Amino acid sequence: MFRLVNSLVSGRKLRILEVGCGRGYLSLELARRGHDLLGIDINGETIKIAKQTMSTDPYGLERGRLEYQVSDFRAWNGADRKFDLVTFNRSLHHIPQPAKVLEKVQSLLGPKGQVICVEYAYDQFDRRSATWYYHIRRILEQGSWFKSDEKLSGNLGVSVAQIKEEWQASGRKAHLNRFKEMYGPLRSLFEEKHLSWEPYIFWDIIMDMRIPSTDTEMAFARCLMAMEKALIDRRAINPVLFCFSGENAKD
């Protein structure tokens, strides 16, 4: 995700806030590019890992300033701080009331400040996406290269409907935000500069792959990513990961 986000960052030595930074990998890489980073996350354990990684960074003396805080962004008091860029890396879909969250983001940005969101939109997973998932998983299952409690049925229609329902049900159960609930306020609060759809379904597949050879597994994963990207570009499947970049529309 770093390459995608970094390609959209405009400017040098920016003040950047990452909301939902997790283990801090994106924040660390951006700091290594000379930016000053603050990463916040509600999970204290992941922040602990982020700080450990930061403390052992061999480029610590060369990077920009980097700090981490444990906080719920909705309650976080950053009124005295301003940022050039706020980024979400697959975190906004977890936070309730995304419109209010993005209004707070806007208040933290100066004029022309930038927001970058790389976000999962579970509700965009449709029958075409499920059909592709089915065929890839079936291939892996035939070679005993996929870990699952129960193999998929050979009945295409039944299995595709099952995959689609299970995928969307998991999103509903976790109360994840839908695409429109995120994209709507992004469009209204920020001037859109970039919108793209990126491969992500393949991640769900490779997490359960069990290919004996690490080299073969890595090569297969790269092929899956390239295949999904090609299908997205040809609009043959519905993607579930979008990347939005926008500029503060408020003077």
Query: Is residue 32 included in any domain, yes or no?
Result: yes
Query: Is residue 194 included in any domain, yes or no?
Result: yes
**Which percentage of the chain shows pLDDT scores above 70?**
99
* Res. 79 pLDDT band, cuts 50 70 90: low
What CATH number corresponds to the domain at position 18? 3.40.50.150
Give the three-state DSSP class for 7: helix
Mean pLDDT for 150-174 is 90
Q: Residue 188's domain spans which residues?
A: 2-122+177-199+239-248
Query: Is residue 147 included in any domain, yes or no?
Result: no
Spatial separation of the C-alpha atoms in residues 13 and 62, rounded to whole Å: 12
Q: Which residues pair with 66 in a beta bridge?
A: 37
The β-bridge relationship of strands 241-248 and 190-198 is: antiparallel
Query: Is residue 223 included in any domain, yes or no?
Result: no
Query: Is residue 155 included in any domain, yes or no?
Result: no
Mean pLDDT for 156-175 is 91
For the segment 88-104, what is each residue's pLDDT rounded down to a tens digit? 999 999 999 999 999 99
Spatial separation of the C-alpha atoms in residues 22 and 19, rounded to whole Å: 9
CA atoms within 13 A on the CB side of 134: 23
Instruction: Name the domain count of the chain.
Output: 1
Total Cβ atoms within 10 A of residue 136: 20
- Of 133 and 77, the one with more pLDDT: 133
pLDDT of residue 49: 97
Question: Which run of H or E residues covers position 30?
Answer: helix 25-32
Q: DSSP assignment of 148-203, as one string?
A: -SSPPPS-HHHHHHHHHHHHHHHHHHTTPPPHHHHHHHHHHHEEEEEEEEE--HHH
Chain center to CA of 194: 16
